[in-house]
Amino acid sequence: MSSKEFNFEVVIIGGGPGGYVCAIRCAQLGLKTAIVEKDQLGGVCLNWGCIPTKALLKSAEIVEYVKKAEDFGVKVGKPSYDLAKMTHRSRDVAKQLNQGVGVLMKKNNIKLFSGEAHFIDSNTIHIDNVGNLTSRYFVVATGASPRQMENYETDGQMIWSHKDAMMQQSIPNSLLVVGSGAIGMEFASFYNALGSRVTVIEYQDNILPTEDLEIAKMAKRHFESKGIKFYPHSTLHKIDKGKKELTAYIVDKKTHEIEAIQVSAALMAIGMVANTKNLKLEEVRVPVDKQKIIVGDFCVTQQSNIYAIGDVNNIAPSLAHKASHEGTMCAEHIAYMMGKISHKPHQMQYSNIPACIYTNPQIASIGITQEMAKKQEIDTLIGVFSAQGNGKSMATSEMSNFVKVIFDKKTNELLGAHMIGPHVSELIQIFSLAKTNELTANEIIATVFAHPTVGEMIHEAVMNAYGRTIHM
């Protein structure tokens, strides 16, 4: 089939942060582009994840500020909460951004098809209620869905999915969160701030199992000081449903003891599963592993004209900004393969992708942890700096701030950075720039950081790795 006989040059399946960014970049590069979305443009991230949860967490952050107002000489009285209004605001934010993505599709002359797609052959897909569509290239960007726990079907009332947790109209007296990853801990932080008694179960020995152990332990202490209770190395044995409460039976994996607790609601937050089930990838001989599409360089699958980006592929981490960057890279690689551009795009460096958890305090990281470095037998230099030595942290009473850096002792290469504090998701970009541009410790030390700022802690932590700390 010649290119003139295709309906499009590129069709993206999925309109989330990977898919719609890929579509825009394809259009910018002069490719005739279409996007297929079965639900809402923006995907889970924009509609039910990254964005609306941050709107809710901002409300919780304001609540926490009000609680401490008297420490700053401001008298406001005891705060009251309107969860329905918080929820309505978060939905409004998501709606505005969803509409904005639609505007971007029209602006860039990208054809939008509504419906679920599956492959007929390597150049043809079928879209429900639309029909067949042909394209020279396809990019699969179907994302992921919450993993369902066996025997615990969510009902939106007492047993919640993450979507249910965003749509509640009243605050539960008590909440059980199953899973202490980013999703679980963000909702634990949110409902704890609003007054719920929150309990968290974690299968691993430590909460936030993908984070640096020192940071995870520090975060646990902060959360416990706010009243959150943790059951590490534990599993949910069963839940008995009453008229107004749930009885949850928690098993300690080490002692095998079972403890029963009563809660108003339970949130299941045990991770995500890639959305590959209905794509009929077997028709185009695209292999999957644990439901994730296997890809190579530039996110190309075994079928050279089919790409897979974001949570649906087998490359970690599963993050919205990773998907968006992959979308841009794929678009440029397709344009290069079609002769639209002369230069081959750079392959992504996945170790340079930052990760953020928007609890209070926030957690942010990039690169390897101290435990990973030890496992890889890398000789390292570790630098740390805490809020006690930072004037801005003390002035704002943000004493949870802490920065940890990991350098290769032989080369002075920045291997990893890990942070905790109210606004570290904004500061981690400094380390992203440093790693991407391969800055050494000496180059970071030679950089002038503004005073007074929390960012100065980055400077001090790097100097601490080399015995040069000034304020500690």
User: For the domain that residue 180 is a member of, what is the CATH number?
Assistant: 3.50.50.60
321 with 396, same domain?
no
Greater pLDDT, 246 or 472: 246
- Shared domain for 296 and 263, answered yes or no, is no
pLDDT tens column, 171-209: 999 999 999 999 999 999 999 999 999 999 999 999 999
pLDDT (0 to 100) of residue 153: 85
Residue 360 contacts residue 64 (beta carbons within 8 Å): yes
The structure tokens listed for 425 are: 């998701």
Helix axes 213-225, 182-193, angle to 10 degrees: 20
Residues 265 and 294 in one domain: no
Structural domain contains residue 333: yes
**Residue where a domain terminates, one of 223, 238, 270:** 270
Residue 279 has pLDDT above 60, yes or no: yes
Domain identity same for 398 and 305: no
Which of 270, 289, 304 is at the close of a domain? 270
Q: In this model, does residue 150 exceed pLDDT 90?
A: no
* Boundary residue ending a domain (238, 270, 302): 270
pLDDT category at 242 given cuts 50, 70, 90 is very high
**Straight-line distance from the first to the last Cα atom of the chain, in angstroms, rounded to the nearest whole number:** 68
Can you give the pLDDT at residue 258? 97
Whether the per-residue pLDDT at 1 is higher than 70: the answer is: no
Higher pLDDT: 78 or 257? It is: 257
34: in domain: yes
> Does residue 233 have an active-site annotation?
no
pLDDT of residue 149: 83
* Residue owning tokens 């030390």: 445
- pTM of the shown model: 0.95
The domain tally of the chain equals 3
Task: For residue 427, give the nearest of 454, 396, 459, 465 by alpha carbon.
Answer: 454
How much is the pLDDT for 2?
Answer: 52
Q: Across all residues in the chain, what is the average pLDDT? A: 96
Residue 236's pLDDT band, with cuts at 50, 70 and 90, is: very high
* Predicted local confidence at residue 151, as pLDDT: 80
Q: How far apart are CA 202 and CA 273, in angstroms?
A: 18
- The pLDDT tens digits of the residues spanning 377-419 come to 999 999 999 999 999 999 999 999 999 999 999 999 999 999 9
What pLDDT sits at residue 208? 97
Q: Which domain does 444 fall in, by range?
A: 361-465
Residue 317 and residue 243 share a domain? no
pLDDT in tens, 97-127: 999 999 999 999 999 999 999 999 999 999 9
> Are 22 and 116 part of one and the same domain?
yes
**pLDDT tens digits for range 303-358:** 999 999 999 999 999 999 999 999 999 999 999 999 999 999 999 999 999 999 99
Residues 6+ apart with CB under 8 A from 186: 53, 57, 357, 358, 359
The per-residue pLDDT for 79 is 86
Percent of the chain with pLDDT over 90: 96
Q: Are 219 and 252 in contact (CB under 8 A)?
A: no
148, pLDDT greater than 60: yes
204 in a structural domain? yes
User: Are residues 303 and 266 both part of a single domain?
Assistant: no
Residues 49, 124: one domain? Answer: yes
Q: Which residues pair with residue 263 across a beta bridge?
A: 246
**Residues 22 and 140 occupy one common structural domain:** yes
Residues 22 and 133 in one domain: yes
Give the integer Cα–Cα distance in Å for 315 and 222: 32
- Residue among 88, 256, 423, 451 flagged as catalytic: 451
Confidence of residue 228 (pLDDT cuts 50, 70, 90): very high
Both 384 and 447 in a single domain? yes
In this prediction, residues 47-65 reach a mean pLDDT of 95
Grade residue 4 by pLDDT with cuts at 50, 70 and 90.
low
